[in-house]
Amino acid sequence: MRSVISQGRAVAYPLGMHSWMRLLELRLSRVFSGGTVPSLYPSVQGDVARSFKGGMNMNPIVLFLSSLFAIAITLAIPGPAHCGNLLINGNFEQGNTGFSSDYSFTPGANQVAGEYTVTTDPALWNRDQATLSYGDHTTGSGRMFAINGATSPNLTLWSELVGVAPNSNYEFGGWLSTWSWVTPVADLSISINGEVLGSFPAPSATGEWNTFSVMWNSGSSNSALLRITDSQTAAGGNDFAIDDLHFAAVPEPSTFVLFGIGGIGLAAYVWRRRRS
Ligand SMILES: [Ca+2]
Ligand SMILES: [Ca+2]
């Protein structure tokens, strides 16, 4: 055992529990103390300097092993914390697959509201003079989901059912553009399991890709029915495209902390090795 003296009290740590743990404890104790933390930045600087010095004075093998341990614990955390995009075809590069829609799939020329296609360029699908020619969001030459907004409200234009872990946080988002200079623009509504989580108007400028996203906690759910609707019902205008949809778990803050501790420890180990 060795002790670290800080702020007038001594704290004993087992060998191998290096000073980064002390820094974490200081930060968390202040966060949860409920009091204000005046002049936080100079305080953090001081703590980091002391902790870094403590880490440097450790046996490098112990520092290396404890860093690996922190990273291993992080990677071993069960659940969805390390999953990427859970959608099958969020970038639409596979074409008209992986999702459901109440709209009519119309791979030929579009002329009326309520139709969609998956295309590399809206101008290849809708030949109106008001339609802009431009590329998808993924690469500029890939595919996008192009929609001529329906006149019936709240039809599902895109949906997918995804399995989730209960009591976990997820982010659902994507990119949205307008392909006709005729107004009004579309107004997307995002819902999961019937709960509306956000509304996003399409860009007023044609051919620009704007991002949108919502956060969601799964609660007791084992699945998420992701749904995008358009609350704009105008036939003229209301022409838009979406691309690069993503639905992914949001890692817990504790995951970031553990991973950060491991990463910093490994960096300190490498630094120490180069100096010796
Ligand atoms: Ca794409
Ligand atoms: Ca239209």
Q: pLDDT tens for residues 224-236?
A: 999 999 999 999 9
Q: pLDDT tens for residues 46-65?
A: 444 454 455 456 677 776 77
The domain over range 104-249 is classified in CATH as 2.60.120.200 = yes
Quickly count: other Cβ atoms within 10 Å of residue 79's Cβ.
14
Which ligand has an atom closest to residue 150 CA?
Answer: 2
CA–CA distance from 70 to each of 106, 214, 257, 266 (Å)? 52, 31, 9, 10
Q: Separation of 160 CA from ligand 2 center, angstroms?
A: 24
Q: Separation of 147 CA from ligand 2 center, angstroms?
A: 8
Q: Separation of 144 CA from ligand 1 center, angstroms?
A: 5
Output b/e per residue, 42-65; b: 16+ Cβ within 10 A: eeeeebeebbbebbbebebeebbe
Which ligand has an atom closest to residue 178 CA?
Answer: 2
User: Residue 39 above 50 pLDDT?
Assistant: no
Which ligand has an atom closest to residue 238 CA?
Answer: 2
Q: Separation of 161 CA from ligand 1 center, angstroms?
A: 20
**Mean pLDDT, rounded, for 65-84:** 63
Q: Separation of 188 CA from ligand 2 center, angstroms?
A: 14
Q: pLDDT tens for residues 160-218?
A: 999 999 999 999 999 999 999 999 999 999 999 999 999 999 999 999 999 999 999 99
Q: Separation of 133 CA from ligand 1 center, angstroms?
A: 15
Which ligand has an atom closest to residue 90 CA?
Answer: 1
Q: Write down the pLDDT at residue 272.
A: 78
Which ligand has an atom closest to residue 95 CA?
Answer: 1
Q: Please name the amino acid found at residue 186.
A: A
Tell how strand 195-201 and strand 187-192 pair up: antiparallel
**Mean pLDDT, rounded, for 233-246:** 98
Q: Write down the pLDDT at residue 197.
A: 98
Q: How many alpha carbons lie under 13 Å from residue 253 in its C-beta half-sphere?
A: 2
CA-only gyration radius of the chain, Å: 26
Which ligand has an atom closest to residue 177 CA?
Answer: 1
Q: Separation of 246 CA from ligand 2 center, angstroms?
A: 26
Which ligand has an atom closest to residue 237 CA?
Answer: 2
Q: Separation of 223 CA from ligand 2 center, angstroms?
A: 33
Which ligand has an atom closest to residue 135 CA?
Answer: 1
User: Residue 113 above 70 pLDDT?
Assistant: yes
Q: Separation of 14 CA from ligand 2 center, angstroms?
A: 68
Which ligand has an atom closest to residue 148 CA?
Answer: 2
Q: Separation of 176 CA from ligand 2 center, angstroms?
A: 15
Q: Separation of 182 CA from ligand 2 center, angstroms?
A: 8
Helix/strand/coil for 266: helix
Give residue limits of the domains in the chain.
2-77+252-275, 104-249
Q: Separation of 186 CA from ligand 2 center, angstroms?
A: 9
Tell how strand 104-105 and strand 115-119 pair up: parallel
Quickly count: other Cβ atoms within 10 Å of residue 77's Cβ.
15
